[in-house]
Chain A
């Protein structure tokens, strides 16, 4: 699986409240409407300008805070190709996988990459290609990649149970 897009760059501890504000958690349920609020309290330009395939590059502890899965759903619905971070908070990490949103743990790229640069990620090779060089990251376990490739946990379970 390969992902190609422009970089949106953010800092450490990007929490789930700024990714998808709590006040919308029980009033907004359509993924396309969720997408319009993505990163609303961090960068209001993001949801308006991000294009399918674009990639978030962030510092440590991306997605800390609440268990709200909408934090992953809104990024996926906006067409975000992947999130690359120095580290992830565990519930967001799982939620992203379960929404079929690739998560890449890579510290080396952070200081070298700028907002707006084009990069390409090869999830099966564990490599990020950019103008600044090639960066490696540890591959996700095969069964986890299987969940992402199936489009998330629900389609994955449906497939496993023979419901497709």
Chain B
């Protein structure tokens, strides 16, 4: 019997010829990633009593959750991280400067997300790197501190689900709508502890940005990781920027999947996830007319140049509705500069949007757009949990950049096909 992607890579990394779901393996990661929570990981690491990290070159730290620091506590966290990376010789450190941005975006742009690599991050959206053929998943702070100390971690070999994608998106429908459809169908725990492999002809046609959106959100149905087999598009993207050598790992054709699901992209329509669950998915037309106070375009899910271009195309020469705040946060400074060069930012600003510095912003309620009680936000982010954007009496709808842009234009939730 052949092995799935997850089985194959976990066997390889643990030096075994064969593993099966449920086996526990011990592995050394190829790379580990942390963000602002490195500050508390440092304290845990120091409490272990080990002087030096196991391998400074394998540790990447990217500040993004609250940059520039909004409070003195955040500032102190950042300061402690700066001191630690200096002391330990950690060179892969992205501070509050124009090399930075949202950790997952920067990690990929900088060529750390590589095919066949095993990557762990102290953030649940670490699963994004599966878009490049990596096995990547989120872990907690204690586990990251333990890896920094001993360079190893135990992982359970997950069962696998394959999702085959065929067909083309209709106008106004995007990868975000597709992943919302899948999460809505499977439920918030539909892929709990599973490895999700996306395949099919439609994946090959997808941009890297769209692939990142798909893999980014698999955690919202409980998955351990999401992955797409790397193709020429990925290899040419990585040409010259890959931070180290890599070897592609592919699932065997005769591997066993717990479930195989098929989606025809031409049947997907614009969708939203209603408050307060990501699997609470409905067609936009069924919630059309819900008044919004804020619209947010950004995050590791949908803050890339492709997303900003979609918004700009819809908002060009138009003005957003009175009383609506449109907050745009490019996912990285690289994206920001590209959007500046293309005139995308000017179009957005002319429409009434404000542009905030790259980072996570209000996504998990840290800063730059916290909601008031009773307010409604439509967002391109990945979570709409109660209180997520800072207030438990506010409501968050999740949607594609097109749906968010058009909703900002109308002042209420609206279908992008109305304007396209």
- Count of A-B residue pairs with CB < 8 Å: 137
Among the 9-residue stretches B143-151, B202-210, B308-316, the one with 4 or more Cβ atoms under 8 Å from chain A is B143-151
Quote the shortest CB–CB distance from A145 to chain B (angstroms).
13
Residues of chain B within 8 A (CB-CB) of A26 are: 36-37, 39, 65-66, 73-74, 77, 366
Given contacts A15-B385, A98-B140, A154-B47, contact A60 B122 (CB under 8 A): no
Q: In the complex the two chains form, is A25's CB within 8 Å of B364's CB?
A: yes
> CA of A60 to CA of B193 in the docked complex: distance in angstroms?
13
Q: Counting CB contacts under 8 A, is B124 at the interface? A: yes
Quote the shortest CB–CB distance from B298 to chain A (angstroms).
15
Interface digits, A72-104 against B, CB 8 Å rule (1 contact, 0 not)?
100000000000000111110011001100000
Dominant SS at the A interface?
loop
Most buried by A among B77, B140, B146, B154: B140
> CA of A22 to CA of B299 in the docked complex: distance in angstroms?
15
Q: In the complex the two chains form, is B188's CB within 8 Å of A22's CB?
A: no
Q: In the complex the two chains form, is A89's CB within 8 Å of B222's CB?
A: yes
> CA of A111 to CA of B139 in the docked complex: distance in angstroms?
31
Q: Counting CB contacts under 8 A, is A29 at the interface? A: yes
Quote the shortest CB–CB distance from B23 to chain A (angstroms).
11
Among the 9-residue stretches B84-92, B252-260, B386-394, the one with 4 or more Cβ atoms under 8 Å from chain A is B386-394
Residues of chain B within 8 A (CB-CB) of A64 are: 188-189, 222
Q: Counting CB contacts under 8 A, is A141 at the interface? A: yes
> CA of A141 to CA of B224 in the docked complex: distance in angstroms?
20
Q: In the complex the two chains form, is B192's CB within 8 Å of A61's CB?
A: yes
Q: Looking across the interface, which residue of chain A has its beta carbon closest to that of B360?
A: A22
Contact of B124 among A42, A66, A88, A161 (CB under 8 A): A66
Q: Counting CB contacts under 8 A, is A18 at the interface? A: yes
> CA of A53 to CA of B188 in the docked complex: distance in angstroms?
29
Residues of chain A within 8 A (CB-CB) of B370 are: 23
Q: Looking across the interface, which residue of chain B has its beta carbon closest to that of A21?
A: B387
Interface digits, A134-161 against B, CB 8 Å rule (1 contact, 0 not)?
0000000101000000001110011001
Q: Counting CB contacts under 8 A, is A65 at the interface? A: yes
Given contacts A64-B189, A90-B192, contact A95 B142 (CB under 8 A): yes
Residues of chain A within 8 A (CB-CB) of B126 are: 67
Binding site for B on A (CB under 8 A): 12-13, 15-18, 21-23, 25-27, 29, 40-42, 60-61, 64-69, 72, 87-91, 94-95, 98-99, 141, 143, 152-154, 157-158, 161, 163
Those 5 A-B pairs whose CB atoms lie nearest each other, nearest first:
A22-B364, A61-B189, A17-B385, A69-B140, A163-B49
